[in-house]
Amino acid sequence: MEHQNARSNNARRNTEPNLSTFLNDPTLNAKEQIELIDNEIMRVEGQIVRLVKHRAFLKRRRNAFSPAVKLPPEILAHIFEYACHPNGGEFGDRYYTYFPSSQLVGGINLGLSVGVGAVTPLFIGTICSAWRNVSKGASQLWSTLTIHMNNRNADAQASLLRSWLQLSGNRPLAIKLLEDDTTDTEHEEEDGGWGIDVSSTAVIRVLAEHAHQWDTIDFFLPSTWRTVLSRVKHKLPMLRNATLRVAESCPTMVRVDAFAYAPQLQEVHLVGYSIADVNLPWAQLNRLDGEYFGVDECLETLRRCTDLQVCQFERAYRGTRPFDAHPITHTTLQSFELIMDSADDLPALFGAMTLPNLKEIVLSFSDDEPMLREIRPLIRRSNCVLQHVHLVGLTPEEDDLLDFLRELPMLQVFMLINPVTETGGRLTTRFLDALMPNKRGIAAASNDANDDDVDMMQSDDSHDEAQYSCLVPRLQRLEYQGAIGFTPHELLQFLISRWRLPTPHSPSHSHPNPTNALPSSPHPHKQQPPISQLRAVSLTTTRRIRFDSADSQTVQALMDEGMFLEFLDDPNAGMY
């Protein structure tokens, strides 16, 4: 064996030229030596190529024994779906945060991506031929995409986009367009600063060819796209969700009619457009989000959208002209969100609305105007059963807050956020005591009942056991940011009382007496709803709430039992 290796090494040395012999040959001039060196370089590079190919062959043979390579194509396709799924869902987020492609290898190809935290199916196809075949055959991988528009590379983007969409088959498409925010000095010189729209139509033309597949879109609308979009006006049979934005870096489309005939359109988000600028099938919408709406447009939206269930107005403003707030009753609206800088027009807006099926209300104001004063008349007039209340602004006075909560016996979620924790009112032990379950015997109940009811109670054997009642008995989540006036131990007692509820000992507790009225309720004969566990509490205060050693153990025990507790300090405290 040793003799064979020696012969092999000798043979190899005999076939390889000795460059030193040629380079030291005095008969060769410089040109001839360079030619010999170049030939040797070519020979070595050829050997390297052969070795690389041989190494790749050996790796393929070795990888053939890996279980991952033996997975059926159907399983691989499911795995690829997870790899191509954006973090949090690309179209579930209202705001898109761009992350450079360098943060994720394979996350973007020529401006085309699936979303944050996901690789593209194009990248998967570069791994090996087997994966490329699987990814091309999995149409679900190609049905979602985000396009970072680039006018300079628009034609190349359009070409890649056409290939991408061809692989989507007939699947519903979710498409998001992000405006090109790069500066094109060449086009700036061409238009001479006259505001001429030079946005390319290459990408939108390709997208328009697949308009019949549009399911969810998020488009900005430059004026140059008007002609292309006019061709899709009657070709949107699958469109369910549309976000339409004014263009920011170029002249925008003034009037939008392309989406007027979309039989499946249910949800619309308008950014910068008013309802007068857009022609939509208003009567069939069940959700509308509007940014930069005037107060008069908010009311007009409710009049047009007769089937609306969820409505959100962000950055609403007073408007440029006075308006007459004609009363409107909307019977299908269940969730209403309003974000304004000032509450000056709130009386006119809320005073005109009657919302009998309202279950959720979200209000946010940047000024110091009290907001409860206008909500209570709306609740009483509508006779609605609110279950979710989210208020952002100045903390109301505690008396006003307690009076407000007495109107909401079925409230399940209450969020009160004061961005400036040191201002406004504060929550004290009175607030905690009002929300703690308290025993109410015959005497307490009889104060809220008539004589006949008292006779019935006295004749009922179940009255020997005291009833429990409290404010907002159905509350399951409480989130508060602002000033407080109670101790950590008092807070703990409240948490225990709303998590470890009293155990009933008599049949009367499972069937509450109808005369057991809500405490201090404006409806004295309304039955006290059963008390629910308060499952989540989050408090943000000027200084973080700190419990002593014994109470900390109890807090940890509550969390171990399943109660979510969060105590934070406001990082902005003292900055105002």
Q: Which stretches within 16-153 are classed as H helix?
A: 19-23, 30-63, 73-83, 121-124, 129-137
193 pLDDT band (50/70/90 cuts)? very low
Partnered with residue 252 across adjacent β-strands are: 222
Q: What is the pLDDT of residue 189?
A: 47
| pLDDT, the chain, mean | 81
Q: DSSP code of 147?
A: E
What number is the average pLDDT over the span 358-385?
Answer: 87
458 pLDDT band (50/70/90 cuts)? very low
d(CA 311, CA 338): 9
d(CA 255, CA 296): 20
pTM of the model: 0.76
> Would you say 272 and 246 are in contact if contact means Cβ atoms under 8 Å apart?
yes
**pLDDT tens for each residue of 97-141:** 444 444 556 778 888 888 888 889 999 988 888 889 999 999 999
Q: 488-513: string of b/e by CB count within 10 Å (b at 16+)?
A: beebbbbbbbbbeeeeeeeebbeebb
CB atoms within 10 A of CB 156: 13
**pLDDT tens for each residue of 496-544:** 999 998 765 444 343 444 334 444 444 444 566 789 999 999 999 988 8
d(CA 346, CA 276): 22
Residue 180 clears pLDDT 70, i.e. is over it: yes
CB atoms within 10 A of CB 240: 16
Residue 192 clears pLDDT 50, i.e. is over it: no
d(CA 21, CA 417): 86
Would you list the domain boundaries of the chain? 19-70, 286-386, 394-456+463-502+512-576
d(CA 464, CA 260): 66
Residue 333 clears pLDDT 90, i.e. is over it: yes
Q: What is the pLDDT of residue 445?
A: 36
d(CA 174, CA 170): 12
Q: What is the pLDDT of residue 422?
A: 75
> Would you say 365 and 340 are in contact if contact means Cβ atoms under 8 Å apart?
yes
Q: Which residues contact 199 (CB under 8 A, 6 or more apart)?
A: 149, 151, 180, 222, 223, 224, 225, 247, 250
- Say which range, 231-235, 364-368, 472-476, has the weakest mean pLDDT: 364-368
What number is the average pLDDT over the span 302-331?
Answer: 83
Residue 11 clears pLDDT 80, i.e. is over it: no
What number is the average pLDDT over the span 401-419?
Answer: 94
d(CA 308, CA 333): 6
d(CA 550, CA 150): 61
What number is the average pLDDT over the span 323-330?
Answer: 81
**How far apart, in Å, are the Cα atoms of 43 and each of 12, 28, 37, 46, 360?**
14, 20, 10, 5, 77
